[in-house]
Amino acid sequence: MKKSPWVLLLFILLGGLLGGVLGEILRVIAPQGTIQTLFSKAPHIGIPNLTVDLFLLTFTFGFTLKINLLTILGVFLGIYLYKQA
């Protein structure tokens, strides 16, 4: 069976999304200490908002990825599940 790269991208995105949500939940409910510090120190990677004003139209571009430990684990889980399918 031939595997589609679009399915791989879907698995990676869903794994990262699930990991990110679980990381945020764990950050909120974890007691003050090492675990909360580990999940609250998630770096933001991306392009900040860029606004182009053409007087008639205004465009705003930008994106930011917030990556924590569980996001990375979710991506790897998505890749693993893709290879198992």
pLDDT, tens digit, 9 for 90 and up, residues 32-81: 888 777 777 778 889 888 899 999 999 999 988 888 888 999 999 999 99
Task: Give per-residue burial for 23-56: e unless 16+ CB within 10 Å, then b.
Answer: bbebbeeeeeeeeeebbeebeeeeeeeeeeeeee
32 CA to centre of own chain: 24
User: What integer pLDDT is reported at residue 75 of this predicted model?
Assistant: 94
Whole-model pTM: value is 0.77
